[in-house]
Structure 1
Amino acid sequence: MVHSTGALPQLSGRIRNLIHVEPLVRLSLDRNSVVQDQPGLFECVDLYYAALALLLFLMERRTVDLGASRTDILEYMSQVVLAMRPDMPLTMARRAGEIVFEALANGRNQHQAFQRDYFERDRGMLVHDFRLINVLPHDDGRILYTATEDAIILLLESLNVSPEIAQKAEEMMLKYLVESGRLAESIDLAERARMRSIQYQQFIRDK
């Protein structure tokens, strides 16, 4: 008997967006095992905050420079950690920031892309390759780091925007995609807009 998948929802885009959060979740879950030589390093340190702050820092650096150097990143991350743990020695704060950076850059695998299996309704099991941080060697010998498009999407998805504003923004985006002939993306966004409409109806009822 052949089973049709036509009635199943198309969730590929949402699944890929969820997958992008996994390095942050893994970092939080492994917070003790990754620093066995320094127990308590991440005590009272919000690793989700630190991770998102790093991605935001790298995203903003794209607007003013080609990227951020490792030194820039570790200096910034040490300040992020010290804001949560003012009592921590600077060397330990720098180490904590370095661990966050390496976790998001997939340092344990030589900064290669993360890989994750996922199910696609029409094609079955696929592999999603993604990065949150790009490693960019330059002609002058510098190695710079930037937030990837996937990282920026992760940041945008985490914004706390009211359903009313989000619905209007998505309607404008849908109009643009249709007019641009980007039909595949417009179908995904139309489904998202439909779900946003349901959310907005619930928002109105709960007011």
Structure 2
Amino acid sequence: MSDLGGEPDPLADEGLTRRLKALACTAPLHDLEVRKANQPWLEESIRDRYQMAEVALDMIDQVAIAMDFESGARHAQVLSRAERFIARQASDRPSAEHARIAVWVLESLINVRDVDRGFTRKYGWINTEGRYSLKTFDFKILEERSDSRGDLYLRASNEALNVLVGALDTDVESAQIAAEVRLRNLIARGRLADAKAVAEQARLRTIQYGETIRTQLEATERNVAAVDWLNHVPDLLNEALAHVESRQKEEQAIAQSITDDRDKAQDAANKRRAAELVDIVEDCIRRHTALHRRLLGAREKFRQEQDRQLFAPATRRAAVDLHRDLLQPILAETGTAATPPLSVFVEHSAGPTSTDQPGLATLIPALLAPPVQRSRFADEEEEPEPTPAEQEGGFSDEQWRAAHALLDLPDAARRLSHLLQEAALIDPPLPELVALLVLRAFSPQIGPALRHGQDHVLIAVPASTTFAQAGFAGDDLLVTAAQLTPNAAITDEPEQEPGS
């Protein structure tokens, strides 16, 4: 109001309301500083080292830069960059603590504690009659959206962009022009570091302008009648088109000027700052191009949504009156005539029946379960029938003595084929025993023979001929006996070197 006794001033009241809303938008950031003292996982001695409001502003900055018409910032990307920012505040703390702080700040900005994921603040309102009342201001900082594939991404709200760039309820068009004029002035004076900060603010104002248009088009998709397409939106589109066309010309000229300065710069620091400015301005040009394309199709979008929402015929389904359409006609019929329609009605109203099919969680344990042991008292047990043991073949003592007698060759060597032929004449099973003993002699165990006190050992060597005799065939062997002396005893202990 101009004075206490005069007429109320509506403009002053609206200005007060704008400032109160702007102040409310900063409350969630200040609340982070208050609530960090209540976190039991954050040690009291290091709480002051973490500036949560700075972390929140950095997150909003990253989300705003990554925003486009159809997409935004991914959670993992925002958390990864925030962890690096947090690590600069307390580089000696563990990385797990940095990650937990990043998640806590991000969830606080989304406000996962409330169902609607929004913030609510009270502010005072003085109407044109001078009466004071409290109103509720609902707003959001970061919003979760889902794309066509169902993946979640983050978007910064208009309130978040206002808090970030300091454009609290200011005209975006005039702020954008003022920022670019200031940017040109700073570039001309060679103050590239200050020019970079101005260019970043100009880019965020561009994002804010695009977000305003996107919000109107998104509201049109939900309900075309909720958006003023008669006056407000057409004026907004015309202003946006004029803004984009003028800004593209200005930004092209600025980008060309900075590029020339970058190429001519001799100082490495100035060349790097100029290159960063070129990237930022080119990003603004790209965003303005995308905004221009969306603005050109906005009116066609409105007509399509209007046809879809207002002129599409409503689906009508006739309601069924069970008493009039079913019960009364059935009662007038006989039981035989009433059965078919009643069966059809019950079948369709009850729905299809499905048999129980075991799932993997129940089928696999059932297949792997051991068989159930039957109780010994349940049924009469059958008397088991023992299986007769198979008689294994062997050699008698007479056959062993006959085989040793054939292989007693102290001063001579005989062929295996001759021994087998002679053994077959003595006893038909005897050649098998002789062949087994000769095969053992092909690799004689001299050491065990000496330890057991034997005076000779049987030796078999190849005879370079083949044979087929007494059911055996293969390389023929020369068999003889070698005498052993006790002095040649071999022990299992290794030789000791001299002097050990």
Q: Determine if the TM-score, normalized by the shorter chain, exceeds 0.5.
A: yes
Q: Are residues 32 and 120 of structure 1, via their aligned partners in 2, closer, same or farther at CA, if it must alter by over 3 Å?
A: same
DSSP-derived class of the 2:163 partner: helix
CA shift at 1:56, angstroms? Answer: 0.6
Q: In structure 2, how many angstroms separate the alpha carbons of the residues matched to 1:75 and 1:131?
A: 23
CA shift at 1:72, angstroms? Answer: 1.4
Of 138-147 and 59-68, the range deviating more from structure 2: 59-68
Q: In structure 1, how many angstroms separate the alpha carbons of the residues matched to 2:235 and 2:67?
A: 29
Partner residue of 1:128 out of 126, 134, 137:
137
Partner residue of 1:116 out of 108, 118, 121:
121
Deviation per CA, 1:78-115, whole angstroms, max 9, x where unpaired?
A: 11110111112221101011111111111221462111
Report the count of equivalent residues.
Answer: 165
Say if 1:105 and 1:111, in contact at 8 Å, map to a contact too: no
Q: In structure 2, how many angstroms separate the alpha carbons of the residues matched to 1:72 and 1:4?
A: 56
Partner residue of 1:17 out of 16, 22, 25:
22
Deviation per CA, 1:150-172, whole angstroms, max 9, x where unpaired?
A: 1001112179xxxxxx8x949x9
Q: Which has the larger radius of gyration?
A: 2
Q: What amino acid is aligned across from residue 52 of structure 1 in structure 2?
A: L
DSSP-derived class of the 2:83 partner: helix
Q: Are residues 138 and 32 of structure 1, via their aligned partners in 2, closer, same or farther at CA, if it must alter by over 3 Å?
A: same
Q: In structure 2, how many angstroms separate the alpha carbons of the residues matched to 1:4 and 1:138?
A: 55
Counting only pairs closer than 5 Å after superposition, residues 21-32 of structure 1 correspond to structure 2 as 21-32=26-37
Equivalent residue for 1:145? 154
CA shift at 1:38, angstroms? Answer: 3.2
Q: Which runs of 4+ in 1 moved over 4 A?
A: none
Q: Are residues 71 and 111 of structure 1, via their aligned partners in 2, closer, same or farther at CA, if it must alter by over 3 Å?
A: farther
Partner residue of 2:8 out of 6, 15, 18:
6
Q: In structure 2, how many angstroms separate the alpha carbons of the residues matched to 1:98 and 1:36?
A: 15
DSSP-derived class of the 2:47 partner: coil
Partner residue of 1:82 out of 81, 87, 111:
87
Deviation per CA, 1:27-73, whole angstroms, max 9, x where unpaired?
A: 1111110x213324634112221111111111101159711222112
Partner residue of 1:94 out of 84, 88, 99:
99
DSSP-derived class of the 1:129 partner: strand
Q: Are residues 65 and 129 of structure 1, via their aligned partners in 2, closer, same or farther at CA, if it must alter by over 3 Å?
A: same
1:51 maps onto 2:56 in alignment = yes
Q: In structure 2, how many angstroms separate the alpha carbons of the residues matched to 1:149 and 1:135?
A: 14
Say if 1:134 and 1:148, in contact at 8 Å, map to a contact too: yes
CA shift at 1:4, angstroms? Answer: 8.4
Say if 1:16 and 1:128, in contact at 8 Å, map to a contact too: yes
Q: In structure 2, how many angstroms separate the alpha carbons of the residues matched to 1:109 and 1:81?
A: 26
DSSP-derived class of the 2:49 partner: coil
Q: Are residues 104 and 120 of structure 1, via their aligned partners in 2, closer, same or farther at CA, if it must alter by over 3 Å?
A: same
Q: What amino acid is aligned across from residue 163 of structure 2 in structure 1?
A: L
Unaligned runs of 5+ in 1: 160-165, 173-179, 183-207
Of 65-74 and 48-57, the range deviating more from structure 2: 65-74
DSSP-derived class of the 1:134 partner: strand
Q: What amino acid is aligned across from residue 28 of structure 2 in structure 1?
A: P
Say if 1:42 and 1:96, in contact at 8 Å, map to a contact too: no
Q: In structure 2, how many angstroms separate the alpha carbons of the residues matched to 1:112 and 1:147?
A: 13
Say if 2:146 and 2:152, in contact at 8 Å, map to a contact too: yes
Q: Are residues 125 and 42 of structure 1, via their aligned partners in 2, closer, same or farther at CA, if it must alter by over 3 Å?
A: same
Say if 2:71 and 2:147, in contact at 8 Å, map to a contact too: no
CA shift at 1:118, angstroms? Answer: 0.9
DSSP-derived class of the 2:121 partner: strand
Q: Are residues 158 and 25 of structure 1, via their aligned partners in 2, closer, same or farther at CA, if it must alter by over 3 Å?
A: farther
Equivalent residue for 2:259? none
- Normalization by structure 2: what TM-score? 0.30
Equivalent residue for 1:202? none
Q: What amino acid is aligned across from residue 27 of structure 2 in structure 1?
A: E
DSSP-derived class of the 2:123 partner: strand
DSSP-derived class of the 2:91 partner: coil
- Normalization by structure 1: what TM-score? 0.69
CA shift at 1:147, angstroms? Answer: 1.0
Q: What amino acid is aligned across from residue 121 of structure 2 in structure 1?
A: R
Equivalent residue for 2:296? none
Q: Are residues 81 and 87 of structure 1, via their aligned partners in 2, closer, same or farther at CA, if it must alter by over 3 Å?
A: same
Deviation per CA, 1:135-193, whole angstroms, max 9, x where unpaired?
A: 1022202110011111001112179xxxxxx8x949x9xxxxxxx979xxxxxxxxxxx
The percentage of counterpart residues that share the same residue type is 19
DSSP-derived class of the 2:117 partner: coil
Q: In structure 1, how many angstroms separate the alpha carbons of the residues matched to 2:126 and 2:20?
A: 11
Q: What amino acid is aligned across from residue 89 of structure 1 in structure 2?
A: P
